[in-house]
A and B are shown apart, each in its own frame.
Chain A
């Protein structure tokens, strides 16, 4: 089967610092992969380079065997919550509606049908009651759910999520994970930048351990070993001391 993502010898830098050094991996369809690594390991940068939001220095990336430009419409992206200004004057429904802008067509106005779809996506995230609520008045978790609803409505085959579970409440974490599992069951592919090592085994079937380069990658059971985690994080991880095996 054709891999959903194929990354080869990918390098990127911020100013003089090389943040990604010859990164290479392949992702199979229908998998749920967590990208894990210490701060500054280049996790968010990796997503940004893959989505051509940040330039690469060298290497190749392909999606469904094609370039990003050709596969763009099949890819959904949920950026970090802090990447936008939530004080912007708009409501939850309008933000979700943005996920449909490509399909509505440029320079055209959204129709009733589009609004209904957006409401459906909000409902799926348990947010139907907040549709007309100002986004500045939503809690962090609710904002994250709005972002996810916006991605859902794109109906993409491949989803990238940047720290969707960072600083959210338990209800939101459950809602997001249920949604991701649903996507997976429909054969969609999901990649998540994740920070919580304790939940990697429960939530994801694949893991990509990253520290500027790929330390380990594979099914969680094989790749998420004590040794690999140690190699990724160095000696900085106190949590590991409590780990057996």
Chain B
């Protein structure tokens, strides 16, 4: 794009792809009733990121991403374990894991920041996201991982639909719901750990939740909901990154989230399916029709009497 450095163009491309992948996975999470789960997972990734850094002593992205994936998966397992082995409900379990892991991550960050070279590492940028700090190698990795997610969602589209709508029936047809669940969780964690560098652990969930919810206002078809959610996510990623490049050291995450939120507000108001404006117009038309018919009935009655 005009006026953007070569690096900034790469960054823009990567947040576009990231947003697209997050939009798709967010759509699956929405129908698995696990929107909040994505928030818990992204917070749970922080200790892994910091741990990965401490392990190497310098910023090595693959190791840190692996660390993030491990700690997010541990978080997911713990949530599952708490829910299935105690009376604690899933939302409470997620609340516990989310805050404890995030607290642990911040605590580790405080210690690690005292290590030599850590203060310049940009480790803090994992909290709010700093897409501009990414170099070409990071961007390439992001593109590869996000493409895997796109592929997983694309080739098994019919299977995802059945898995989300009626898992018991899917099982009866011989589909391994256990495997589908594992692949879903793996892809979700992948999007999160890839995305936290650009969006940050705190706001990553917004990129998963908001596009899907916005898309719901426009369509009655699952296929189109996924496509729209991908477009919204990609659009928000790109717009947010573009805005953040105008300032020096502006974090990308908040701008991406605000861009997504704007798309949501537009959807809420003007969405073709149950958008507020559409509902109001429909209601007005109904009322007008009702008034007219009552008027006709009344005048007929009066004529009759």
Contacts from A to B (Cβ < 8 Å): 51-53, 72-73, 75-77, 79, 83-85, 88-91, 94-95, 98, 101-102, 104, 106-110, 134, 150
**B91 touches A (CB below 8 Å):** no
Which residues in chain B, 140-183, are within 8 Å of chain A measured between CB atoms?
A: 155-156, 158-159, 161-162, 164-166, 168-175
Besides the contacts A84-B166, A106-B156, what 13 more A-B pairs have beta carbons closer than 8 Å? A51-B168, A51-B171, A51-B172, A72-B174, A77-B169, A77-B172, A79-B169, A88-B31, A88-B164, A91-B221, A98-B161, A98-B162, A134-B220
- Cα(A83)–Cα(B171), bound, Å: 14
Q: Chain B residues near A102 (CB, 8 Å)?
A: 173-174
**B113 touches A (CB below 8 Å):** no
Across the interface, name the chain B residue whose C-beta is closest to A134: B220
CB distance B31 to A53 under 8 Å? Answer: no
Q: Chain A residues near B156 (CB, 8 Å)?
A: 106-107
Q: Say what secondary structure dominates the interface of chain B.
A: helix
Interface centre among B162, B166, B216, B219 (most CB of A within 10 A): B166
Q: How large is the interface on B (under 10, 10 to 19, 20 to 34, 35 or more residues)?
A: 20 to 34
Q: Chain B residues near A94 (CB, 8 Å)?
A: 161
**B222 touches A (CB below 8 Å):** yes
Contact A98 B221, CB 8 Å, known A90-B161, A107-B159, A110-B158:
no
**B189 touches A (CB below 8 Å):** no
CB distance B171 to A89 under 8 Å? Answer: no
- Cα(A132)–Cα(B225), bound, Å: 17
Contact with A along B78-110 (1 / 0, CB 8 A): 000000000000000000000000000000000
Contact A73 B174, CB 8 Å, known A85-B165, A88-B164, A90-B165:
yes
- Cα(A104)–Cα(B162), bound, Å: 13
Contacts from B to A (Cβ < 8 Å): 31, 155-156, 158-159, 161-162, 164-166, 168-175, 216, 219-222, 225
- Cα(A150)–Cα(B159), bound, Å: 16
- Cα(A76)–Cα(B172), bound, Å: 8
8 closest cross-chain pairs (CB), A and B: A102-B173, A89-B222, A77-B172, A88-B165, A84-B166, A89-B220, A134-B220, A98-B162
- Cα(A106)–Cα(B156), bound, Å: 8
Q: Chain B residues near A53 (CB, 8 Å)?
A: 168, 171-172
Q: Chain B residues near A134 (CB, 8 Å)?
A: 220
Contact A107 B174, CB 8 Å, known A85-B165, A89-B220, A134-B220:
no
Q: Chain B residues near A72 (CB, 8 Å)?
A: 172-174
25 example contacts (A-B, Cβ-Cβ < 8 A) are as follows: A52-B171, A53-B172, A72-B173, A77-B169, A77-B172, A79-B168, A79-B169, A83-B166, A83-B168, A84-B165, A85-B31, A88-B164, A88-B222, A89-B220, A90-B165, A90-B221, A94-B161, A95-B165, A98-B161, A98-B165, A98-B166, A98-B169, A98-B173, A106-B156, A110-B158
Across the interface, name the chain B residue whose C-beta is closest to A110: B158
Q: How far is the CB of B147 from chain A (nearest CB, A)?
A: 18
Q: Chain B residues near A52 (CB, 8 Å)?
A: 171
CB distance B222 to A109 under 8 Å? Answer: no
- Cα(A88)–Cα(B175), bound, Å: 20
- Cα(A75)–Cα(B155), bound, Å: 27
- Cα(A150)–Cα(B166), bound, Å: 12
Q: How far is the CB of B49 from chain A (nearest CB, A)?
A: 34
- Cα(A102)–Cα(B175), bound, Å: 8
- Cα(A150)–Cα(B174), bound, Å: 16
Across the interface, name the chain A residue whose C-beta is closest to B165: A88
